[in-house]
Amino acid sequence: MPAGELFTVPPVRGGTKPEGSSRNKQKEYQLVRVKNTWCRVECRQEMPTTWEEDQVIVSQAKIGEQVTESGVSWVVKAPIYFCYKVIETQNLLNPSNKTLLYGHVSDPEEIDEYQKKTQKRFVVMDATVEQIYGSKVRKYFEAHNVVYKILALETTEETKSMDIVLHILEEVHKFSLDRRTEPIIAIGGGVCLDAVGLAASLYRRRTPYIRVPTTLLSYVDASVGAKNGVNFCNCKNKLGSYTPPIATFLDRSFIQTIPRRHISNGLGEILKMALMKHKGLFQILEKHGKYLLDSKFQSTNVLDCNDDAALKTTRLAIQTMLEELAPNLWEDDLDRLVDYGHVISPELEMNLLPALMHGEAVNIDMAFMTYVSHEIGLITLEERNRIVQCMQNLELPVFHRDCSFQLIKKALAERFKHSGGKLRLSLSTGLGTAEIFNNVSEETMMCAFAAWQEDLGEHST
């Protein structure tokens, strides 16, 4: 936003006084804390010389003040700063690894302080994950003399609602934790992380939380950004907030116990990043897709990503995702490449619950959009076919009979409504490159749909 734009007062009937006139003054103040009191100092003015430099803290926040004929208006500009860590680790649940307890703390002196008192942790785990890893988590906390509570919950797309959030909040409240030093820990797939994130954002207005993703999809996607949420009124993630965790701890060994279909599901979101912005990642998926599925991302080499397709794939997926998310954590900019595959898929996924997994619905959406790209002439036939072939090699669905043109139109209308009156479509313009278009006609969509259905639909040969 250009400087000063916030301070522009809309024209008042009868005309406004020119800027700077005695009746229409505007000023901007910075906020300065001297000892314990915040005071304002007009931006262009020098600080009083009586203030000692080491007693003064200058905030990044500013207050604008405008005096008009109708009164005074103030505008607060307060940048909100978020800092969170995304940390790869191995053997997270081995008691010798202190990441789960202190990985979020940067200052070693602070860790020493924490260790002087008994630590408490409230842990929410997906019920299946708890069955497999619960005893390890217990042993971990017991080894560190931590007072803990594990809340095991069925976290599925069907239970992803405010009910689960309220249930978590009630239990957190009963457990009673020190909001500043005892983060809530979520261990599970994207549903668990999303619901706990929302609960944490509500408890005492924002309680720090930690994400430990246990599915591939949550490892590369749901755990690295700021968003959380639950479904509401049969709409996907309709309630939620932008509250990042204080840390995400990534341990790929959890992924070894998820079914093969869930690996494909996660590969759908990884392919999204590859198609949007990284040809190298696309080529890895093309070449090593089967290995990634077979090995469930359990590589032998955990440090050298040049040597290991699994490590390289997850690192590139996270790096490309962070590049797109970090400058736009609150999604103020509506032109987001990461929304690729999320235009039609929300309606498709919710309509077909529980038949389609999130990454599968995303992939069907991306397969259709690949045909749109080709229809417009943004990608060649060879590129289109390579993309579809790659999807099929990753064992992802590329078509669904319930994804009718009517559903596509309904989903597009919904996105249009929530995107500032513009249909913003991310479309491939090559392998690993994309742009956002807002002028794709319905006729183009229909032609793409017909070709998509003919090539990949159930009656295709």
Residues at the contact surface with ligand NAD, assessed by CB under 6 A: 126, 128-129, 132, 155-157, 160, 188-192, 194, 214-215, 217-218, 221-222, 225, 227-228, 237, 254, 257-258, 262, 265, 357-358
Give the span between the Cα atoms of 374 and 30, in whole angstroms: 52
**Cα→Cα distances 360→187, 215, 261, 349, 391, Å:** 22, 14, 9, 9, 10
Of the CA atoms within 13 Å of residue 13, those in its CB half-sphere come to: 0
Output b/e per residue, 94-118; b: 16+ Cβ within 10 A. Answer: beebebbbbbbbeeeeeeeeeeeee
Query: Active-site residue among 160, 227, 272, 296?
Result: 227
Output b/e per residue, 398-413; b: 16+ Cβ within 10 A. Answer: bbbeebeeeebeebbe
User: Nearest to ligand NAD by Cβ — which residue?
Assistant: 190
Taking the complex as a whole, how short is the minimal distance between the CB of residue 150 and ligand NAD, in angstroms? Answer: 15
Inter-axis angle of helices 381-393 and 279-295, nearest 10: 20
Helix (H, G, I), strand (E, B), or coil: what is residue 249? Answer: strand
Contact 122, 177 (CB under 8 A): yes
209-213 and 184-188 strand pairing: parallel
Taking the complex as a whole, how short is the minimal distance between the CB of residue 132 and ligand NAD, in angstroms? Answer: 6
For ligand NAD, the closer of residues 220 and 311 by Cβ is 220
Contact 247, 362 (CB under 8 A): no
Taking the complex as a whole, how short is the minimal distance between the CB of residue 215 and ligand NAD, in angstroms? Answer: 3
| Beta bridge partner(s), residue 42 | 29
For ligand NAD, the closer of residues 33 and 206 by Cβ is 206
For ligand NAD, the closer of residues 177 and 366 by Cβ is 366
Taking the complex as a whole, how short is the minimal distance between the CB of residue 344 and ligand NAD, in angstroms? Answer: 15
Omega before 354 cis (within 30°)?
Answer: yes
Give the span between the Cα atoms of 104 and 287, in whole angstroms: 36
Taking the complex as a whole, how short is the minimal distance between the CB of residue 347 and ligand NAD, in angstroms? Answer: 13
For ligand NAD, the closer of residues 227 and 288 by Cβ is 227
Instruction: Give catalytic status of residue 238 as yes or no.
Output: no
Strands annotated E in 69-207: 71-77, 85-88, 120-126, 147-153, 184-188
Give the span between the Cα atoms of 161 and 167, in whole angstroms: 10
247-250 and 235-242 strand pairing: unpaired
For ligand NAD, the closer of residues 218 and 373 by Cβ is 218
For ligand NAD, the closer of residues 273 and 311 by Cβ is 273
Six-digit token string for 253: 């060994």
Q: Which residues belong to the active site?
A: 227
